A and B are shown apart, each in its own frame.
Chain A
């Protein structure tokens, strides 16, 4: 499938936007201009939907809708078959041994929360959870909340000492409010640090993994840095250290962008969302090893998760329904099957190749601009590149020698030179150009702090705080993105520099466009 054919399947590209540039041209007397589709570069947040997925939702509600696992009438059986068919499809898609290992949730966040409740129940005071510095809030907060639920009896045990707060890393500092009652903090959360390039520093594993490590939960791909973590290597290192910890993989960012095979990864659980892989929102997946899922107590109680109920007790249902209480998002799950078909039709390898090419193209153009500060590992050639299609950056003149135009009215030296443009301002201006990017902390505030984007504030820093954006811009690619989308991003950043009056005198603007032209020439031969 060519990129053009793929783009035709996405109706969001039919909606045309009038860009600010075009409006300005109109005001200057030009009457006709090209309207453009949105350059949607926020795929790490959620992807757009192909027509087949949208049609499948309509079809499910129109022709096949009834509650599942309930009725004996044909329509209910039909809906159940379609729903369960997608479970089998998901199992095959991720290389699971059995569809009984596939549990439908609401999203990745619910999948991880489920684990923090059901696996977390077995944790005791003094146990340890190992995360990484690059986790999304959804793989940090549930574990911090778990602390509130861990059995307290051992806190007041023979040693007589209360559970202590073990501050192993800044996130602890950042959650002061949450942990006000934290003198009874019991579970220790540790974080694998990242190196300067934004990769995990695995040399720390020997020290971080201990006898008390009960859960290791790691993202397969960072939603900020784009780093793809070597899960297989981490699993084997953790195991070779003799640890029996449960190993959880957050695959939210990876799924739909690269091939995922749970039998190859070697992890115990894997969580992801349908909406980040061209499927409907409201559907998530938790895959787990059967024996572990069988040992785990249910998450929520209610209908469909029971075998029998009397007034005193309940016998829980078998896998996977034990973890699916209540009526699920039936039509969305059914349509999720179409999203998987869509990905399989293109092929995970082809998607990866396309996105790797775009990432390298964008990275090189952004890098050629002296006022753009990039985060994360440099993309390498070939499919072995351990980097996904996510690029975080800031428009920050302090990253280079370029300057802002000196203001006549007594600007101080700081304000005349080294002022980073806040990502929200960048994103607003890009939005006027029909380019959608994400700006903010990307639900990874602890990582922002490690990257030096949002360091913990001290009173002494207060004077300088205004120049800390506390956030980053992020672009992320999907199957429908093109080099033209990237070119429009680069043009948009030029517009940002114009709006914020980057000096022409210093040559930074011209110099950077020359650099960008050179980079664009250089990458012309790169096939996408």
Chain B
């Protein structure tokens, strides 16, 4: 699979924005029941913009790398922009098609961050 390029492997080995955000305003969980992959996104919002972002989770190289790349892409972007990110945008970001069987891996994080675009889930302490 061509998807396993060096950039992807690098994001998988050393994901950006990985870890918990203690002062997060919003926390969103997403699970892929197919394989048990799981991702949690932490958001800090300031004036309608994502001022801080982080994620934790477990998963394959494709799901971790797309979480990492997506987290970089949406930092400092307005919350309203999240709902506009489409699947093909994510595929573009991670550099090409993944087989149909792996789309769920690639889109796990997108599904997570879309939740904040549509509904605001307040962090439960």
Which residues of A approach B to under 8 Å, CB–CB? 404, 407, 409-412, 415-416, 419, 421-425, 428-429, 431-432, 439-441, 445, 448, 454, 457, 459, 462-463, 465-471, 499-501
Contacts and interface: CB of A to CB of B under 8 A. Distances in A.
Nearest to B98: A428
B61 A425 contact: yes
Which among A431, A459, A465 has the greatest number of chain B C-beta atoms within 10 A?
A465
Given A422-B59, A463-B56, A415 B36 contact: no
13 contacts: A404-B13, A416-B13, A424-B62, A425-B61, A429-B1, A431-B1, A457-B38, A462-B56, A463-B56, A466-B15, A470-B35, A471-B35, A499-B4
Minimum-distance CB pairs A-B, first 9: A422-B60, A470-B36, A424-B60, A415-B13, A465-B58, A462-B56, A440-B35, A499-B4, A425-B61
Contacts, number: 84
User: What's the dominant secondary structure at chain B's contact region?
Assistant: mixed
Contacts of A459: 20
B20 A425 contact: no
Interface in B37-57: 37-38, 40, 56-57
Contact of B35 (A407, A439, A501): A439
Contacts of B10: 407, 409
B24 interface: no
A421 B12 CA distance: 10
Nearest to A421: B61
A424 B35 contact: yes
Contacts of B56: 462-463, 465-466
Contacts of A445: 36
Nearest to A408: B10
B105 interface: yes
B58 A425 contact: no
B2 to A, nearest CB: 9
A134 B57 CA distance: 26
Contact of A462 (B20, B34, B61, B105): B20
B9 A411 contact: no
B88 interface: no
Contact of B38 (A407, A428, A470): A470
B58 A441 contact: no
B15 A500 contact: no
Contacts of A431: 1, 99
Interface in B5-19: 9-10, 13-15, 18-19
A7 to B, nearest CB: 26
Contacts of A454: 36
B64 interface: yes
Given A409-B10, A431-B1, A466-B56, 20 more contacts: A407-B14, A411-B14, A412-B14, A424-B102, A424-B105, A425-B4, A428-B99, A428-B102, A429-B1, A429-B4, A439-B35, A440-B35, A462-B19, A462-B20, A462-B40, A463-B20, A466-B15, A467-B58, A468-B58, A471-B35
A463 B9 contact: no
Contact of A465 (B4, B57, B102): B57
A451 B15 CA distance: 27
Contacts of B18: 466
B35 A441 contact: yes
Nearest to A462: B56
